[in-house]
Amino acid sequence: MAAQFTAQLLTIFPEMFPGTLGQSLAGKGLEDGKWALKTLDIRDFSSDKHRSVDDTPAGGGPGMVMRADILGEAIDAAQAEADPKWPLVYMSPRGRRFEQADAQRWHKAGGVTILCGRFEGVDERILEARGVEEISVGDFILSGGEPAAIVMLDAVVRLLPGVMGAADTLDEESFENGLLEYPHYTRPQVWEGREIPAVLTSGHHKKVAEWRHAKREEITCIRRPDLWSSYVRDKENKV
């Protein structure tokens, strides 16, 4: 069975993968061949005996910068194995924030090639020359791109048919259809004086659906006014 999705990772720490992606449902999907993961060690494209991939920053300053010539060879090797539709992305705190729409886009493309930076970053010329898209997981700094890549790939892999089980488990999650998810409850019926909302045990499926949708709207409006504004605007445009 051909994999539904392939992730290519360019990294100096290939042993960091699959990491948590090798566990639970994602791990089972990987084992069953529903998706594939390939790592390319950037150090393999270095030509010196120390397998160096970085050098001091032009203009001075702290830290080291990953070299464009070495990264260029690594990216070209990865691209030779990739489908032209696959996005080529670099994990970067200055990049555009990763969203559920990106997970959907990568999923539909059938694969992605991810450059995981280290040190102070990468030579800007490699991003320009290879048309690399910069993506961030949020406004904070990590020690490298590998943890961010794992987070993003988890968001993609769970969209693959057969990985999460029932397809309808994905339909009403946070960020699907522009809304956050509704609250969940399970037994016991009463816990520390708090009861499960009566509508959820009424057996009336239409009322349950209406309650859940209303809660999604309420929670989104309160917690994420940015999402709520987009949701309202999209509804108005469809009228």
Coil, strand or helix at 26: helix
Say whether both 140 and 194 belong to one domain: no
Parallel, antiparallel, or unpaired for β 111-115 and 88-97?
A: parallel
What is the CATH number for 70?
A: 3.40.1280.10
Which pLDDT belongs to residue 138?
Answer: 95
Say whether both 225 and 147 belong to one domain: no
pLDDT, one tens digit for every residue, the chain (239 residues): 689 999 999 999 999 999 999 999 999 999 999 999 999 999 999 999 999 999 999 999 999 999 999 999 999 999 999 999 999 999 999 999 999 999 999 999 999 999 999 999 999 999 999 999 999 999 999 999 999 999 999 999 999 999 986 555 555 555 678 899 999 999 999 999 999 999 999 999 999 999 999 999 999 999 999 999 999 999 888 86
Which pLDDT belongs to residue 179?
Answer: 92
**Residue from 132, 136, 116 nearest 124 by CA:** 132
Say whether both 185 and 148 belong to one domain: no
105 occurs within a structural domain: yes
Say whether both 184 and 133 belong to one domain: no
49 occurs within a structural domain: yes
Domain boundary among 120, 135, 157: 157
142 occurs within a structural domain: yes
Say whether both 17 and 74 belong to one domain: yes
Domain boundary among 157, 184, 199: 157
Domain boundary among 157, 189, 214: 157
Say whether both 152 and 38 belong to one domain: yes
Alpha carbon 3 to its chain centroid, in Å, reads 18
The dihedral region occupied by 150, where left means phi > 0, alpha psi between -120 and 50, and beta the remainder, is: alpha
Which pLDDT belongs to residue 64?
Answer: 97
Query: 212 is in which domain, residue-wise?
Result: 171-238
Say whether both 22 and 133 belong to one domain: yes
What is the four-CA torsion angle of 105, 107, 110, 112, rounded to 10 degrees?
Answer: 70
Say whether both 137 and 215 belong to one domain: no
Q: How many domains does the chain fold into?
A: 2
Q: How far apart are CA 28 and CA 43, in angstroms?
A: 30
The residues, any chain, with a CB within 8 Å of residue 133's CB and separated by 6 or more, are 87, 88, 89, 90, 95, 96
Which pLDDT belongs to residue 177?
Answer: 82
Say whether both 140 and 175 belong to one domain: no
Which pLDDT belongs to residue 99?
Answer: 95
Say whether both 106 and 189 belong to one domain: no
Say whether both 26 and 96 belong to one domain: yes
Q: How far apart are CA 87 and CA 132, in angstroms?
A: 8
Which pLDDT belongs to residue 166?
Answer: 53
Which pLDDT belongs to residue 173?
Answer: 59
The dihedral region occupied by 118, where left means phi > 0, alpha psi between -120 and 50, and beta the remainder, is: beta
166 occurs within a structural domain: no
Coil, strand or helix at 67: coil
The model's pTM is 0.88
197 occurs within a structural domain: yes
Say whether both 10 and 67 belong to one domain: yes
